[in-house]
């Protein structure tokens, strides 16, 4: 039984450290960053070009890389199955922290094992 199955999170602030722990491996985070970057790129492309059907590709791009990471690298159950909105928000927060160089501080603050992570 995982922590997400035994604990109910009642706030995003409480959920965030759990989310980071579920993304402890650098390759897991890297695959999430690829997916989130594609989601943002698709949104920008669709907006600029007016090709709105491309917006339908956003969930596929994001979830494909995220779930690939969880099932093949991290070998855990995606938090999105239990906390879909907070997971989406946390994914963008994690991506933003990575872009701004703050992901290492966030992992440290959440006490994610430094043996299994790198700064990015």
Which residues form the domain of 50? 25-109
Query: Cα(114)–Cα(25) distance, rounded to whole angstroms?
Result: 10
104 located within any domain: yes
Answer yes or no: are the C-beta atoms of 3 and 21 closer than 8 Å. Answer: yes
31 located within any domain: yes
Report in angstroms the alpha-carbon separations of 114 from 54, 107, 110, 119, 120. 39, 8, 11, 9, 12
12 located within any domain: no
Q: What is the tally of structural domains in the chain?
A: 1
45 located within any domain: yes
Q: What is the pTM of this model?
A: 0.86
pLDDT tens sequence across 11-60: 999 999 999 999 999 999 999 999 999 999 999 999 999 999 999 999 99
56 located within any domain: yes
102 located within any domain: yes
pLDDT of residue 98: 98
59 located within any domain: yes
pLDDT tens sequence across 85-102: 999 999 999 999 999 999
11 located within any domain: no
């Amino acid at each position: 039984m995982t922590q997400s199955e035994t604990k109910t999170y009642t706030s995003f602030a409480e959920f965030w450290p759990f989310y980071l722990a579920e993304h402890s491996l650098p390759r897991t985070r890297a695959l999430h960053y690829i997916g989130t970057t594609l989601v943002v790129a698709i949104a920008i492309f669709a907006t600029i070009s007016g090709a709105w059907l491309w917006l339908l590709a956003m969930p596929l791009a994001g979830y494909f890389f995220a779930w690939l990471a969880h099932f093949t690298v991290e070998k855990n159950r995606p938090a999105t199955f239990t906390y879909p909105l907070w997971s989406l928000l946390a994914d963008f927060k994690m991506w933003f922290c990575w872009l701004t160089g703050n992901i290492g501080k966030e992992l440290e603050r959440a006490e994610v094992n430094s043996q299994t992570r790198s700064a990015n």
